Chain A
Amino acid sequence: ELKVEQNPLFLSMQEGKNYTIYCNYSTTSDRLYWYRQDPGKSLESLFVLLSNGAVKQEGRLMASLDTKARLSTLHITAAVHDLSATYFCAGSPSTSGTYKYIFGTGTRLKVLA
């Protein structure tokens, strides 16, 4: 059974600093997703990572996938206040085809001016 764990759960960081959010998963996952949720809002898709070594970047966010370590990371470069949100990773069990999603508990990021 696929389990997805994120850490840290809460992250308070200064503007301009770099930090990484970690997403570990327990069994084989066909792909790994990252989502963003602003307070009181819905979820927005950020990245889809399909294969070992995959790296995707959008602005100050960069996501990577290491399938051997069962680890994905979301790296934040030179944080700005607008990045304050909750970030979720999600996997999809290989046995489910492309239909099931298992989410992590989320990382609440607060960027302080």
Chain B
Amino acid sequence: EAQVTQNPRYLITVTGKKLTVTCSQNMNHEYMSWYRQDPGLGLRQIYYSMNVEVTDKGDVPEGYKVSRKEKRNFPLILESPSPNQTSLYFCASRPGTSLTDTQYFGPGTRLTVL
């Protein structure tokens, strides 16, 4: 089944404890992206990747890191999480750079930073 998977789905952690949220897609998509969703703010793009080893900042990259060493994986790293990073995180992928390409979203990771 074609899908985007994220792990973990739920995470409660403490301020300053490094964590990684994994994202994997099995559709051979070139483009992957991370978003955070907060009440009243919609979704905001954190980082995106156009292909392996090619990443760029979205609107809210501060406090996050990403890497794209393999086409299928795009982990989101929080080196020193803070309470303002408590949010619902979505990973998405899409085939390539065509204007008509649609994004496929993962199930989401709910992160709480105490």
Q: Which residues of A contact B (CB under 8 A)?
A: 30-31, 33, 41-45, 48, 50, 88, 90, 97-106
> In the complex where A42-B108, A104-B42 touch, is A50 in contact with B99 (Cβ < 8 A)?
yes
Contact B106 A42 (CB under 8 A): yes
Which residues of chain A have C-beta atoms less than 8 A from B43's C-beta? Answer: 43, 88, 90, 101, 103
> In the complex where A42-B108, A43-B90, A44-B105 touch, is A102 in contact with B99 (Cβ < 8 A)?
no
For chains A and B in complex, what number of residue pairs have CB atoms within 8 angstroms? 59
> In the complex where A42-B107, A43-B90 touch, is A48 in contact with B44 (Cβ < 8 A)?
no
- B49-74 to A contact mask, C-beta < 8 Å, 1/0: 01000001011000000000000000
Nearest-Cβ distance from residue B32 to partner chain A, whole angstroms: 11
> In the complex where A42-B90, A42-B106, A105-B42 touch, is A100 in contact with B99 (Cβ < 8 A)?
no
Q: Which residues of B contact A (CB under 8 A)?
A: 31, 33, 35, 40-45, 48, 50, 56, 58-59, 90, 92, 97-108
Nearest-Cβ distance from residue B98 to partner chain A, whole angstroms: 7
Nearest-Cβ distance from residue B112 to partner chain A, whole angstroms: 16
Which residues of chain B have C-beta atoms less than 8 A from A43's C-beta? Answer: 43, 90, 92, 103, 105
Which residues of chain B have C-beta atoms less than 8 A from A99's C-beta? Answer: 31, 48, 50, 56, 97
Which residues of chain A have C-beta atoms less than 8 A from B42's C-beta? Answer: 88, 103-106
Contact B48 A100 (CB under 8 A): yes
Which residues of chain B have C-beta atoms less than 8 A from A104's C-beta? Answer: 42
Contact B100 A105 (CB under 8 A): no
User: What are 12 A-B interface contacts by the 8 Å CB criterion?
Assistant: A30-B99, A43-B43, A45-B102, A48-B99, A99-B48, A99-B50, A102-B59, A103-B35, A103-B42, A103-B44, A105-B40, A105-B42
